[in-house]
C-alpha cells in the first residue's frame, strides 16, 4: 500500500465540520425525544383492546420496521411536498422522518417492557383505586421504561448513525459536510475516516452506558 495519508487539507475545514456536527446532534437529540415520547403512546395504542386503535398502530409499526430508513427519508423529503403541497424546512423534515422511524422501534421495546410488568402490580393499583391514566403514568410507564431502557438506548445509537442518511437529500449534517470536503479536496480516505471516528466517539460512551445498565439490571434480577 503506497497511499500517503495527508490531513493538512483539513486546516480551515473544522468550522464547517463543527456546524455539520451540530446539525447531526440536533437531528439525533430531537428525534430521540420524539421516539421516546411517541413510542410509548404508540405502544399503548398497539396494545389497545379496541381494534380501530390497535390496527393502525400496528400497521404504522410494521411499515417503519419493514422498510429501509433511507427510503423513508427520501419519501418524506420528496413525496410529502408533491402529494400534500406541504413544504417543511430540511432539518425539521429530517427530524420528522428519523423520529417516526425511531417511534416504531421504541414502541416494540416499550411493549416488551409493558408485558414484563407483574400482574400483581396492576391488581394492586386497581385495588388502590387508581384511574387508568394514573396506572399508566405511575405503575406501567416507570417499570416499562426501566425494562426497556437498554433497548431504547441502543435504538438511540442507531438513530444517531442513521441520521447520516439525510445527507442524500442535501441536509447539511456531518456526513454531508464530510462528503463536500472529500469531493473538493479529492481526499475521501482521510475525510471519511475522520467522520467515522467522530461517529464512533459519539456512540461509544452510550454503548458502554448500555452495558452498564444491562449489568445492573441483571444483578438486580439475580437478587
Pick from 74, 144, 64: which is nearest to 102 by CA?
Answer: 64
> In the predicted model, what is the mean pLDDT of the chain?
91
**Predicted pLDDT of residue 10:** 85
Mean pLDDT of 145-149: 89
Given a cut of 80, whether residue 47 has pLDDT beyond it is: yes
Residue 194 lies in a domain: yes
**Angstrom distance (rounded) from CA 126 to CA 130:** 6
Which stretch of DSSP H or E encloses residue 162? Answer: helix 141-162
Residue 187, in any domain of the structure = yes
pLDDT tier, 126 (very low <50, low <70, confident <90, very high otherwise): confident
Would you say residue 5 lies in a domain?
no
The enclosing H or E element of 220 equals helix 188-222
Res. 3: pLDDT tops 80? no
Which residues contact residue 137 at a Cβ distance below 8 angstroms, ignoring those fewer than 6 apart? none
pTM across the whole model = 0.90
Number of domains in the chain: 1
Q: Show the domain range for 94.
A: 13-222
pLDDT at position 101 is 97
As a whole-number percent, the residues of the chain with pLDDT over 70 amount to: 98
What gap in Å lies between CA 83 and CA 91, rounded to an integer? 20
Q: Supply the angle between the helices 141-162 and 188-222 in degrees, to the nearest 10.
A: 170
Q: What is the pLDDT of residue 221?
A: 64
Banded pLDDT at 119 (limits 50, 70, 90): confident
pLDDT at 222 over 80: no
CB 195 within 8 A of CB 174: yes
Residues whose CB is less than 8 angstroms from the CB of residue 139 and which lie 6 or more positions away in sequence, other chains included: 117, 121, 122, 125, 130
What are the residues whose beta carbons fall under 8 Å from the beta carbon of 31, sequence distance 6 or more?
95, 98, 99, 102, 159, 163
If residue 65 lies in a helix (H) or strand (E), which one and from where to where?
Answer: helix 51-65
Is the residue at 7 inside a domain?
A: no
Instruction: Find the CATH number of the domain harbouring 114.
Output: 1.10.3720.10
Angstrom distance (rounded) from CA 156 to CA 28? 8
* Residue 6 is assigned to a structural domain of this protein: no
Q: Which residue has the higher pLDDT, 62 or 87?
A: 62
Rounded Cα gap, residues 195 and 175, in angstroms: 7
Least confident stretch, 19-28, 116-125, 213-222: 213-222
pLDDT digits (tens, 9 = 90+) for 192-221: 999 999 999 999 999 999 989 888 877 766
Number of residues that make up the chain: 223
pLDDT digits (tens, 9 = 90+) for 74-104: 999 999 888 888 888 999 999 999 999 999 9
215: in domain = yes
**How much is the pLDDT for 57?**
97
Percent residues over pLDDT 90 in the chain = 64
Q: Looking at 63-72, 107-116, 129-138, 154-163, which range is the least confident one?
A: 129-138
Tell me, yes or no, whether 98 lies in a domain.
yes
**Listed range (23-27, 123-127, 134-138, 216-220) with the worst mean pLDDT:** 216-220
Residue 175 lies in a domain: yes
Amino acid at each position: 500500500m503506497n497511499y500517503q495519508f495527508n490531513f493538512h487539507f483539513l486546516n480551515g475545514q473544522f468550522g464547517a465540520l463543527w456546524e455539520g456536527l451540530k446539525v447531526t446532534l440536533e437531528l439525533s437529540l430531537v428525534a430521540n425525544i420524539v421516539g421516546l415520547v411517541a413510542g410509548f403512546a404508540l405502544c399503548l395504542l398497539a396494545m389497545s383492546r379496541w381494534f380501530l386503535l390497535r390496527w393502525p398502530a400496528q400497521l404504522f409499526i410494521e411499515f417503519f420496521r419493514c422498510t429501509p430508513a433511507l427510503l423513508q427519508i427520501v419519501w418524506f423529503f420528496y413525496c410529502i411536498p408533491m402529494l400534500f403541497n406541504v413544504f417543511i424546512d430540511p432539518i425539521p423534515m429530517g427530524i420528522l422522518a428519523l423520529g417516526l422511524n425511531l417511534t416504531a422501534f421504541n414502541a416494540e421495546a416499550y411493549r416488551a417492557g409493558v408485558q414484563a410488568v407483574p400482574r400483581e402490580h396492576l391488581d394492586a393499583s386497581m385495588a388502590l383505586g387508581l384511574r387508568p391514566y394514573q396506572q399508566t403514568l405511575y405503575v406501567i410507564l416507570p417499570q416499562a421504561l426501566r425494562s426497556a431502557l437498554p433497548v431504547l438506548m441502543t435504538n438511540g445509537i442507531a438513530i444517531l448513525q442513521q441520521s447520516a442518511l439525510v445527507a442524500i437529500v442535501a441536509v447539511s449534517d456531518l456526513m454531508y459536510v464530510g462528503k463536500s470536503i472529500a469531493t473538493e479536496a479529492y481526499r475521501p480516505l482521510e475525510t471519511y475516516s475522520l467522520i467515522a471516528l467522530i461517529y464512533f466517539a459519539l456512540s461509544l460512551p452510550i454503548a458502554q452506558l448500555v452495558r452498564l445498565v444491562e449489568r445492573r439490571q441483571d444483578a438486580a434480577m439475580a437478587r
